[in-house]
Amino acid sequence: LYDVSQIINGGETNYVMATMGLYLDIYNIFVNLLSLLMAFSGEKD
């Protein structure tokens, strides 16, 4: 949310870097959620 706020309020003027930063934020959220799901769905014996 912080990065989106910075983009909207003009903190980032380079739109390519803003887009890449936002993409990487979403990618990192996805990867972290995936690792959490894998950790919680471990073998249940």
pLDDT for 40 equals 87
Q: Please return the burial class of 21, using the count of CB atoms within 10 Å of its CB with bins 0-12, 13-18 and 19+.
A: middle
pLDDT for 36 equals 93
Q: Could you tell me which of 12, 38, 39, 37 has the C-alpha nearest to residue 25? A: 12
Give the CB-side neighbour count of residue 11, counting CA atoms within 13 A: 10
pLDDT for 44 equals 62
Instruction: With a cut of 70, list the residues of the chain below it in pLDDT.
Output: 43-45
